[in-house]
Amino acid sequence: MASLDSSRIFQTGFGFWQSKVLLTAVELELFTKLGSQSMTGESLGKMLDLHPRGIWDFFDTLVALGFLNRDGNGPTALYSNTDETAHFLDKNKPSYIGGILEMANDRLYRFWNDLGIALKTGKPQNEIKHSQKSMFEVLYEDISRLEQFMGAMRGISFGNFEAFAQKFDFSGYKTLCDVGGATGLLSSIVAEQHKHLECTSFDLPIVEPIARKWIAKAGLSDRINIVSGDFLKEPLPRADIITMGNILHDWNLEKKKHLIRSAYEALSENGVFIVIENIIDDDRRTNAFGLMMSLHMLIEFGDAFDFTGADFWEWCTEAGFKRYEVVHLVGPCSAAIAYK
């Protein structure tokens, strides 16, 4: 018994402390406002309009967690961004991924407080708890929430889409349609790196102006078509490659199978269907983030869930696909690829 160690239990049990420190730093735009400067704790606290009581504990916790550098000790010490926070958490940089953390702080943190209720009832615990509407309907009623969600998706997907653009062999294909393309991020990254491809980003009509804005900002308006529609009601645009990033996990089994069938029908002969998500390992033992994402789908939608590569392949075989593989992208995320 002497060799047993309780530290992992404590670390996880109090994980919300670290989480809230980082999320609050993002909320306060600490990393953005600090930018490339080095500042004393007092100046940094003043810049963020913080009460003096908490500043040293807050900044030094961020140092201890590896999210700030500190040169020296005591009141004259200088705080600065680490290489990672400067790159990923400064809003003024295109590499900013904090959108997902902004949404985690603003929405998800509160909803996860009701995980126990979700587990007892099987019902969602987000904004739709008190309404009969779907999550997307509620989220999209308010333009600032829609923009926040779109920014969040960019944050969580950026690294995975970059890895996908580098790892997949696009040479035998001419057209790509990204279904549920949101801001057009996947199409933008792929179009930038694979000049021969004609890309289409497909999403709901309400998302179109946001996609147009982001695609124009990337200077790719002449390379990417934007098509609006409802993927549950309409056929998908025809293409050699159909991608779906974090789409299938938003839906129950019946709708997942509908989307897979629609992709099959829209693909050209020898086309390929690619799903980019936190694909759970087939034994459901190791991809903890993918498993928690599935719990998160319970919280957001109720009957929606994440899945393993084997689950995906079973559904794709039913739809008629011939062959499949799973290609690891970044961290918990993979591309599950089904060939027609």
Q: Which of 105, 126, 148, 157 binds ligand SAM (CB under 6 A)?
A: 157
Q: Please select the residue that binds ligand SAM; options are 105, 246, 294, 334, rule is CB under 6 A.
A: 246
Per the annotation, the verdict on 249 as an active-site residue is yes
CA 143 from chain centre, in angstroms, equals 19
* Burial of residue 252 (number of CB atoms within 10 Å: 0-12, 13-18, 19+): middle
Query: HSE (CB half, 13 Å, CA atoms) of 328?
Result: 7
Contact region with ligand SAM (CB under 6 A), list: 39-47, 191-199, 241-249, 262-270: 241-249
Which residue in the list 130, 249, 296, 328 is annotated as catalytic? 249
Binders in 56-95 for ligand SAM, by CB under 6 A: none
Residue closer to ligand SAM, measured from CB, 203 or 240: 203
Stretch of 39-47, 54-62, 94-102, 202-210 lying at the interface with ligand SAM (CB under 6 A): 202-210
Cβ count within 10 A of residue 63: 14
Asked if residue 22 lies in contact with residue 104, where contact means CB atoms within 8 angstroms, the answer is: no
The neighbour count for residue 34, using CB atoms within 10 Å, is 22
- In the complex, residue closest to ligand SAM by CB: 245
Cα–Cα dist 109/145, whole Å: 16
The alpha carbon of residue 249 and the mean position of all alpha carbons in its chain are separated, in whole angstroms, by 12
Select the residue interacting with ligand SAM from 44, 191, 247, 266 (CB under 6 A).
Answer: 247
Which of 207, 226, 304, 319: binder of ligand SAM (CB under 6 A)? 207
Residue 337 makes contact with ligand SAM by CB under 6 A: no
Element (H, E) at 268: strand 267-277
Query: Which three-class secondary structure state does DSSP give residue 12?
Result: helix
When binding is defined by CB under 6 A, the residue of 230, 282, 314, 318 that contacts ligand SAM is 230
Active site residues: 249
Residues in contact with ligand SAM by CB under 6 A are: 136, 153, 157, 180-182, 203-204, 207, 230-232, 245-247, 250
